[in-house]
Structure 1
């Protein structure tokens, strides 16, 4: 049951991390304004980390779904 649930949770979490990471990266790079995060190098780095973590989860989910677990 836990594996079945993880089959859906991991890709959704990956998509959320990619989306949030992209937003934080753009805000940190001062390409999206209107926030205390705009122009902050800290949020640029945090966004990049979240983006990479989300992409890693998505790749893992796709590989596991195709029957080739990591």
Structure 2
């Protein structure tokens, strides 16, 4: 079970980071890509950001540190 916690914690980081980047590019805040200014990327990124946050919280709830 500990291995799954490690894997889920590691997976939540990229999900969160990519989701935030997509939202920022979709809202034309972070320029430099074909996604910049296309609101659909913000729509795709918002659930990905939520899933990353929820996964990180869920696997580490009640835990002060990974043991």
The TM-score with structure 2 as length reference comes to: 0.85
For residue 22 of structure 2, what is the aligned residue in structure 1? 24
After the TM superposition, list the runs of 4 or more consecutive aligned residues in structure 1 that deviate by more than 2 angstroms.
Answer: none
More helix by share: 1
The TM-score with structure 1 as length reference comes to: 0.82
Supply the RMSD in Å over aligned alpha carbons. Answer: 1.1
Q: CA deviation at 1:47?
A: 0.8
Question: Which blocks of at least 5 consecutive residues in structure 1 are unaligned?
Answer: none
